[in-house]
Chain A
Amino acid sequence: MFFPDSFEVSLPSDREIQITRDFDARRGLVFDAFTKPELVRRWLLGPPGWTMPLCEIDLRVGGAYRYVWRSEKDGSQMAVGGVFREVTPLERLVASEKFDDAWYPGEALDTTVFVETRGITRTTITVLYESREARDAARRSGMEYGMAAGYDRLEALLPTLTGGPA
């Protein structure tokens, strides 16, 4: 059973972005899928056409992680890394987040929480930016990178969203 309908992206405050999703698996498996490099590399691949040549995770407080993605089409790269501030196995991870190309000022702080109810694990990722400006800059750059999945579709859609006198 899959729960794509449980997926939610929200902006709980001026400085945050929050993503929630239910998975049909016990917490241990979901936690592993988020913290074991050989598993992370199988799903956190970036936009279509991108691969994840590097995924390193030193899962302990003060330990670092680093993810690198590469576009197979034009060879461009995108990388992010940070340090774990809190590691509560199966339950909660807090880590700093900084992209190499530093589109936004300062670091962001990612909090990932896993809650299991009757074999279903709700995963909530909250990204806290240093300021509203930083969050919005990250949002804009997200647009530039296209997060590419729907970029072309997006371009086709934009005129209908922005066009015409209000």
Chain B
Amino acid sequence: MNELAEPFSMSQPAVSRHLKVLERAGLISSGSDAQRRPRKLEARPLGEATAWLETYREYWETSFVRLDGLLSELKATERKRERVARRKR
């Protein structure tokens, strides 16, 4: 705990609260030996979260690029219609 708290300008109880939150979320686990309770980073859920976000991103990104294309087509159609309307006036 002391080691984990060292790099932060945070009180030990505050660090301890943060650790509890991380542990509840399954992102770290704590082991125990006689003197210390070493924390271990659980990379799998973190990796899953990152990977999920990445997939979700890609899904929307692909759709939005298609939407960009559609919008420029709609703008072109609109301009054409305006030109025709102007000519008719």
Residues of A within 8 A of B (CB): 2, 4, 7, 9, 17, 19, 21, 23-25, 29-30, 32-33, 39, 42-48, 139-140, 142-143, 146-147, 149-151, 154, 157-158, 161-164, 166
Contact = CB atoms under 8 A, between A and B. Distances in A.
Contact of B62 (A9, A21, A48, A164): A48
Interface residues of B, number: 35
B71 to A, nearest CB: 4
A40 B19 CA distance: 45
B55 A149 contact: yes
B51 A25 contact: no
Contacts, number: 104
B28 to A, nearest CB: 9
Interface of B: 40-44, 46-72, 74-75, 78
A143 B55 contact: yes
Nearest to B77: A29
Contacts of A43: 63-64, 66-67, 69-70
A33 B67 contact: yes
The 10 A-B residue pairs with the shortest CB-CB distance in the complex, in nearest-first order: A161-B47, A166-B41, A162-B47, A43-B66, A147-B59, A25-B71, A43-B67, A149-B58, A162-B44, A2-B68
